[in-house]
Chains A and B, each alone.
Chain A
């Protein structure tokens, strides 16, 4: 009898200690006067934040206020992260791939409507969409239309789960749209644009759940001939001594990634001060310099660091394409150019 009770007690004790071990705070010391920030970010910024920005901010905060701040970090595909925060994940700061995902949070009453009313319009990083390819560029990939060539294996992530995928596809869509508009003097040939998207999609080998997974598939597992990705992802690989050659197409899309304080969470956690400070840190000169180390272009157009990045001939933005909502409907909506690729295949 006694041994059974002992065993039961032991098991319960182990269960509790296991849970406690698994539940411990993740990074940074938690002093009695410690602040905590819960970060909900997209997967691509993981290294930049985990290795550089967070430790730098912790130091900055200690110097400024004498308090320690610890971080609980979650990195996920942008769409997944946005959905998680909208459905109740109580991140204090949301760092997402694009404003469309941020708007989701506004609509779910997590983020205030005026999140983009600041000097940088809520944007903390810039990058451009580029195409990574194999060494020596055996398939001769120089522009978006080359992705549609037969025999080219293309990688980009699934727009359903990845914000990054939307940047990629929007870049292809946008360049074709603007070129078509310029050629025809105003009214673009949507059928041709749709056709390009379709032919590129036909070459896609695998649609991973996030941009990071696509990069891993391309470089670690040797899949595909071309990966459509962010410039900063490529530069990060160079930094990690696993370089990938890439080409910046003539006309490409400026990637503007936002960050915002999640009001519903900071109200609950009572850490608005430190969360806002963190956000400000990201666009400060120190923060931007750290981000540049990880391949992100500075947000300030006057910044001298910008000169080190290649300048594409035609850089367009989402605003040039009509904004996120317009593109959402035109490309990913029920009758959208990209969605139609699959309904046409309907068996």
Chain B
């Protein structure tokens, strides 16, 4: 048999501080390989990824815009993962929220902003929650794995959106499949004129703060963290693990629904099939990079938003494919996961 075995044990402090730095460095080294293959200078590429977006006000604001949905989906995923519920369905729950928000925004033109926007938030949250309900019930009562079910729900709703936009909600004035526009009162107020930054960003920050307090300072938060860390220990201590997981799953869906509402009221103003460019899935990356801590998730979302904005500049400036940004993101995720392993496990002699 092998002479060594792997034990779960925390790494020494010096290693733990080095790990995030090492992760970022290693990701960039690996990504550089792809940059070089694409025919560009890695240093120029990373300047464009990281520094250039912040060099002008308009692009810095765009970074915030790009980060906003990621903050929300990242928080949504974090909320569920904390309780041990692996919600891969944030993408679909986002769509559900978008549908509800669009419906409210389109059909009540007479309502003023102060009424319709909160209504859209509630609608988006509830719709996201409802879309998360079936997989959550299946998991809690029938022990059916939520990773598969939440993932499949995504496909279902995307086909449904496609149907809506081509049939029932088809905007007759446009050549593309898109819904009618929401009323002017249903738009999120623009925060900085001539930029796309709007109150969606404020909503995202507020959600981060609320979730932070929920997870760290309330009994529900403690029960969630207990359930996610050790379900049998939580059960022994009297936590109703199934009910806690159900709550976490539903709130997670609701927050993802808010992300959809934010895109409708802040950016697109009508429903389109591309309302989300994989925000739900990127949210998982953001949640992992942020270490499942609400504040870390916000920072990670901003970082990914930065790379996302940068990748457009990179492709323009250096003539490389815009997907390079995706490669950097994915490499960062894989390297971070590998580093987490180093952080939590050690090799011991048998």
Indicate whether A and B interact.
Answer: no
Interface of A toward B, CB cutoff 8 Å: none
